[in-house]
């Protein structure tokens, strides 16, 4: 079978062919200007990682690396069937929804003495045990428990075959971000986030790239973030960042797509429109990054170190913070293990 295009090339290919999603040049410029104004703030650095992940264990321990693996392996599909019926997890007095319910549940389990970050345990835990770990405060459970169990136990078995920890597994790729993504995708089936578009195999590798980015963020917090090729990574094609890009005018949906989303139509994984939303988001952020680098070069006469990961680390919380203002822009809904 032909090898799929890599995420950046996939994004460009999709954006050039897309029928329902369009990258808007004026909006790209606007977002680049917005980021230019933030370039000296903490919001545009890898150290913003800990702020975005307040529930992660202290970065000094290898347990924190396993925590990141457990969370990123199950990091998909948190949107509720009904907005009023959200899975919620309360930890230390704060109630979390969405992705943060997973982080809170894993950290809560650690405090309860469940060895949830030990691959020996999570490679063979049963569905009921995982259900207890991920239990919700209310009647609405976290979606896709069976799938989360399947991918977590599979991931644990792979770690056991490669030294028994995420650190020993990922060290096989040296300190090269591209090699890390390739290793994860090659060894762990649930990370193979691929599709076919206009007759071509394409890839997004959202969770594999997040896993590498989180590893980088953790190592940077330890003062060991000298990972090369971070520029190879793209944004993480999910359902939250595209909404922010549409809100900021950098992406535009066709009227028919916008109407389908407003009607609550569920898009299947690999659907032409779903692929276009994800691919055009990747290419849009690449263009924003290039434009930002150009602005910094022209105005400050110096190179810019902001990469697509850092832009994503900024846009995702931005979308969460401004969710009320962008409520009129629907997120697309796809139930799958990739995002």
Q: Both tokens of residue 129?
A: 């045990």
Task: Give residue for tokens 């644990």.
Answer: 156
d(CA 47, CA 233): 17
Q: What is the DSSP string of 243-267?
A: HHHHHTTSEEE-HHHHHHHHTTPBP
Residue 238 falls in the annotated catalytic set? yes
CA torsion sign for 95, 101, 103, 107 is positive
**Dist. CA 282–CA 290, nearest whole Å:** 13
- The Cα–Cα gap between 324 and 111 comes to 34
Strand partners, 333: 266
User: Do residues 129 and 119 touch, judged by C-beta distance below 8 A?
Assistant: no
CA angle 189/192/198 to nearest 5° reads 140
CA 182/CA 62 separation, integer angstroms:
22
Q: 227 near 177, Cβ under 8 Å? A: yes
Q: Is 307 in contact with 289 (CB distance < 8 Å)?
A: yes
The Cα–Cα gap between 28 and 287 comes to 7
- Residue of 20, 193, 214, 238 marked catalytic: 238
Cβ neighbours for 47, distance < 8 A, ≥ 6 positions apart: 217, 220, 221
Token pair belonging to 24: 């808007």
User: Hey, which residues are catalytic here?
Assistant: 238
């Amino acid at each position: 079978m032909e090898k799929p295009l890599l995420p950046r090339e996939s994004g460009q290919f999709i954006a050039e062919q897309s029928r329902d999603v369009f990258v808007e040049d004026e909006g790209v410029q606007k977002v680049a200007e917005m980021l230019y104004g933030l370039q000296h703030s903490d919001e545009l650095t890898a150290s913003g990682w800990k702020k975005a992940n307040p529930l992660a264990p202290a970065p000094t321990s290898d347990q924190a690396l396993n925590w990141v693996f457990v969370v990123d392996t199950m990091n998909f599909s948190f949107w509720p069937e009904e907005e009023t019926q959200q899975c919620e997890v309360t930890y230390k007095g704060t109630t979390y929804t969405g992705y943060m319910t997973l982080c809170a549940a894993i950290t809560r389990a650690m405090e309860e003495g469940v060895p949830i970050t030990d691959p020996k345990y999570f490679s063979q835990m049963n569905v009921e045990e995982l259900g207890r770990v991920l239990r919700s405060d209310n009647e609405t459970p976290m979606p896709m428990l069976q799938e989360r169990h399947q991918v977590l136990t599979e991931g644990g078995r792979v770690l056991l075959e490669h030294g028994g920890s995420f650190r020993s597994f990922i060290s096989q790729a040296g300190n090269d971000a591209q090699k890390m993504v390739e290793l994860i995708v090659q060894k762990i089936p649930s990370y193979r986030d691929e599709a076919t578009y206009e007759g071509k195999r394409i890839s997004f590798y959202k969770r594999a790239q997040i896993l590498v980015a989180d590893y980088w963020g953790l190592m940077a917090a330890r003062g060991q973030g000298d990972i090369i090729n971070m520029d190879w990574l793209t944004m993480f094609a999910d359902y939250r960042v595209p909404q922010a890009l549409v809100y900021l005018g950098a992406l535009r949906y066709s009227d028919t797509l916008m109407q389908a989303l407003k009607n609550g139509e569920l898009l299947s994984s690999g659907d032409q429109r779903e692929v276009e939303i994800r691919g055009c988001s990747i290419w849009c952020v690449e263009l924003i990054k290039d434009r930002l680098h150009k602005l910094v070069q022209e105005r400050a006469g110096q190179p810019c170190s902001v990469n697509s990961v850092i832009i994503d680390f900024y846009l995702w919380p931005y979308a969460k913070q401004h969710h009320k203002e962008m409520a009129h822009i629907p997120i697309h809904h796809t139930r799958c293990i990739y995002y």
